Chains A and B, each alone.
Chain A
Amino acid sequence: MALIELKDVSKLYGFGDATTLALDEVSVTIERGEFVAVMGPSGCGKSSLMNVIGLLDRPSHGNYKLDGRKVAKLRANRAARVRRDTIGFIFQSYNLLPRLSILENVALPLAYKGVSVKKRIRQASTMLERVGIQNREYFMPSQLSGGQLQCAAIARALVNNPKLIIADEPTGNLDSESSRLVMELLSEIHKTGNTVLFVTHNPELTRYATRVLYMHDGNIIHDEQTAIGQVAATARKVLYTLPTTNEEDDLAGVSALMRARPDVPSVGRKVTRPKSRSTKKAASKRKTSVRRKKADV
């Protein structure tokens, strides 16, 4: 039994003339243990798909089975319980609660599950250790870097030991170094048997995936199995041939460049293809200060 089964799922926004078809009868099946990258131009419906799969949103039409259970029309409270117990979310903008400490943030899903205070502090602490920021436990979110925040967010997503991790552009706000850290973490989660779904604009990151879905205008136009460690074939094509069509791709290219040539300033340089993996090590030694920011709605 597949973990996720979408059948003719559509998502419409708005009414009348202002209707947007964000998902157009999407059908896809995702098995347990897959590490799926979702790619596609801005506005093609990636986030909409993630929200539907993550039970944050309901599909307008179609069927959705999660873990063998029909969930397309689940009532609010039940959906909340499924989210709590089976799904872990990672957002582009971290979405930690600003008035809670890192530890409290990570422990929050456990609180909603009814775990005792002592136990949840212990579990949250263990989880923070696992993502490598245990020394930041008692910091407030405003005192952490973007990469550290995303690590905390991952810890929070993992703390309930969910079957499915959904990450909508988890590296969208991060530099290449932090991106790599985050992807390594997701990779580890995947290795322990979890199913991971992530959205990215960076073809480089398909290296971590076992499968890549390409979307366009609310449809999945290409579905590709890929080997871990290699940039997916289609993504590579995008990387090599496509001119930088939009800001997103542009930014992705710049980050690839920085990784390739750490010794030269990146500003103003043209996009070139990234080199092999070994150059990444060089990049990791160097403290990158360039940050990319992308407005996300």
Chain B
Amino acid sequence: MKPARGQLKTGFDSVRGAKWRNFWTMLGIIIGVSSVITVVGIGQGIKNQISGQINYLGKDLITIRPSSLRTGGDQSLDTYNVLSGLSITGSLQDKDVQAVSKAPGVRASAPLSAISTTVKSEKGQYKKGLVIGTSASLPNLLNQPLEFGTFLDPDDPGARAAVLGKAAAEAMFESDVPLGFTFSINGQDFIVRGIFDQFKNTPLSDEANFNTAIFIPYDVSQELTKNSGAIYEILAKPATSSPVDTTIASIKTQLNQTHGNQDNFTVLRQDENIAARSEVLDLLTRLITGVAAISLLVGGIGIMNVMLVSVTERMHEIGIRKAIGATNRQILSQFVIESALLSFVGGIIGVALAFIVNGLLRFFTNLRPDISWQIVLIASGVSLAVGIIFGSVPALKAARKDPIEALRTII
């Protein structure tokens, strides 16, 4: 439409005028758009990393956790102790570990039991990591190679031996390869048998803790805590001949026997496990996106304010335009287009800023934000809509002004 093109040009002309004021006007939108895109991008990035984990841990890894984990619609955050994992007071017992390992179809299994202890090494007390009691099968279950040495000896479950996460090894010892070095847990001496390779950790996953952890034989951990150490997880893998689902069923049967059919445990396939994590993440992402979206709203109000001032300042101009034949609708569209343009340009700058932030995050953190074109489209669309909606109030004010009154207005 020809007149619309003229209006668009008028809008451009006005925006071209006061550059800095326009920047401040757009700031709200810029921040809003870039934070929405960044937050959603981070969420998506983490999800990608988690699903990348499936391949790396293997689809057949089975996780047994205490208490039942709902995956339905009515979750609340506290259901998702998966986030911390360790805060669950264990209802998994010694006998459960036995039950799982004896369940038909299970090739290997390992408990994970975090205990609270005092660790002292040549560098002093070590507080950064967990002490985890586990069994010899762990590296195999997690597909996790060791960098140096060997893992715990399956034939010597009572040995005072330990395997360190890479970060733990660096923090506890001066030596680069502290194999054979000793340190103490609750006053008892332990020998370093091996050091893990870097765990391919993802944010929010349990493996994130493993780099700083100290792994000792499960029996020893029980001994140290006088059998009060909580098992927060049992990992298992089925034998190649046994399908995952069949194995899970047999594990459930075994555990139900030991738990007296109380069903206060959960057996998850790896993909279910990840789905649960993704849900928490979705919830968080949505929450933060909501907050970020509010800044879009605030940005819209900012645009409305500036446009109101602009309309007042330009009342004389409006009068002239009306005198030479501009209809109310043409004045209206001029100002709506102007504010839409402001917020749209703000949106574009916001998108650009989001990409810059994305780059910085990738460089300085282990986050891998994933910005999809959909969210870019949505964010800039919303910013355009905000401009139109909030711009229409000042535009109406301009359009309805009596021509002679507008003409008489002197700023």
Q: Does B associate with A?
A: yes
- With contacts A51-B404, A80-B328, A116-B2 known, is A95 near B14, CB below 8 A? no
Cβ–Cβ contact A114 & B323, under 8 A: no
- With contacts A51-B404, A99-B13 known, is A111 near B329, CB below 8 A? no
- Give the chain A neighbours of B329 by CB distance below 8 A: 77
Q: Which residues in window 1-24 of B have CB below 8 A to A?
A: 2-3, 5-6, 9-10, 13-14, 17
Is A112 in the interface zone, CB < 8 Å from B?
yes
Cβ–Cβ contact B328 & A77, under 8 A: yes
Residue of A nearest to B323 (CB): A89
For chains A and B in complex, what number of residue pairs have CB atoms within 8 angstroms?
A: 77
Q: Which residues in window 377-411 of B have CB below 8 A to A?
A: 402-404, 407-408, 410
Cβ–Cβ contact A112 & B323, under 8 A: no
Cβ–Cβ contact B403 & A112, under 8 A: no
Cβ–Cβ contact A156 & B17, under 8 A: no
Docked pose: A244 CA to B5 CA in angstroms: 53
Is B89 in the interface zone, CB < 8 Å from A?
no
Cβ–Cβ contact A84 & B328, under 8 A: no
Partner of A111, one of B3, B402, B404: B3
- Give the chain B neighbours of A97 by CB distance below 8 A: 317, 320-321
CB distance from B291 to the nearest CB of A (A): 39
Cβ–Cβ contact A84 & B320, under 8 A: no
Interface size class of B (residues with CB under 8 A): 20 to 34
Cβ–Cβ contact A85 & B325, under 8 A: yes
Cβ–Cβ contact A84 & B325, under 8 A: yes
Q: Which residues in window 118-146 of A have CB below 8 A to B?
A: none
- Give the chain B neighbours of A84 by CB distance below 8 A: 324-326
CB distance from A208 to the nearest CB of B (A): 23
Cβ–Cβ contact A108 & B13, under 8 A: no
Residue of B nearest to A99 (CB): B17
Docked pose: A113 CA to B5 CA in angstroms: 12
Mask, B9-52, CB within 8 Å of A = 1, is 11001100100000000000000000000000000000000000
- With contacts A80-B328, A99-B13, A108-B321 known, is A56 near B2, CB below 8 A? no
- Give the chain B neighbours of A96 by CB distance below 8 A: 320
Is A76 in the interface zone, CB < 8 Å from B?
yes
Cβ–Cβ contact A83 & B324, under 8 A: yes
Is B144 in the interface zone, CB < 8 Å from A?
no
- With contacts A115-B2, A117-B5 known, is A80 near B17, CB below 8 A? no
Is B285 in the interface zone, CB < 8 Å from A?
no
- Give the chain A neighbours of B67 by CB distance below 8 A: none
Cβ–Cβ contact A89 & B324, under 8 A: yes
Is A297 in the interface zone, CB < 8 Å from B?
yes
Residue of B nearest to A55 (CB): B403
Cβ–Cβ contact B407 & A112, under 8 A: no
CB distance from B359 to the nearest CB of A (A): 38
- Give the chain A neighbours of B322 by CB distance below 8 A: 56, 80, 83
- Give the chain B neighbours of A108 by CB distance below 8 A: 321, 324
> At the interface, is chain A mostly helix, strand, loop or mixed?
helix
Q: Which residues in window 326-347 of B have CB below 8 A to A?
A: 326-330
Partner of B3, one of A51, A54, A112: A112
Cβ–Cβ contact A80 & B325, under 8 A: yes
Docked pose: A114 CA to B3 CA in angstroms: 5
Docked pose: A84 CA to B407 CA in angstroms: 16
Cβ–Cβ contact B328 & A111, under 8 A: no
- Give the chain B neighbours of A85 by CB distance below 8 A: 325
- Give the chain B neighbours of A277 by CB distance below 8 A: none
Cβ–Cβ contact A95 & B320, under 8 A: yes
Cβ–Cβ contact A56 & B325, under 8 A: no
Is A275 in the interface zone, CB < 8 Å from B?
no
- Give the chain B neighbours of A297 by CB distance below 8 A: 408, 410
Q: Which residues in window 80-114 of A have CB below 8 A to B?
A: 80-81, 83-85, 89, 95-97, 99-100, 104, 108-109, 111-114
Docked pose: A111 CA to B408 CA in angstroms: 24
Cβ–Cβ contact A95 & B408, under 8 A: no
Is A57 in the interface zone, CB < 8 Å from B?
yes
Residue of B nearest to A83 (CB): B325
Cβ–Cβ contact A156 & B408, under 8 A: no
- Give the chain B neighbours of A80 by CB distance below 8 A: 322, 325-328, 403
Cβ–Cβ contact B13 & A100, under 8 A: yes
Is A210 in the interface zone, CB < 8 Å from B?
no
Is A176 in the interface zone, CB < 8 Å from B?
no
Contacts A/B (CB < 8 Å), 30 sampled: A54-B323, A56-B403, A77-B327, A79-B403, A80-B328, A81-B325, A83-B324, A89-B323, A89-B324, A95-B320, A95-B407, A97-B317, A97-B321, A99-B13, A99-B14, A99-B17, A108-B321, A108-B324, A109-B324, A111-B6, A111-B9, A111-B10, A112-B6, A112-B324, A112-B327, A114-B2, A116-B2, A117-B5, A157-B324, A297-B408
Give me 10 other A-B pairs in contact (C-beta within 8 A), A56-B323, A95-B323 excluded.
A51-B404, A54-B323, A56-B407, A57-B403, A57-B404, A80-B325, A84-B324, A95-B320, A112-B325, A297-B408
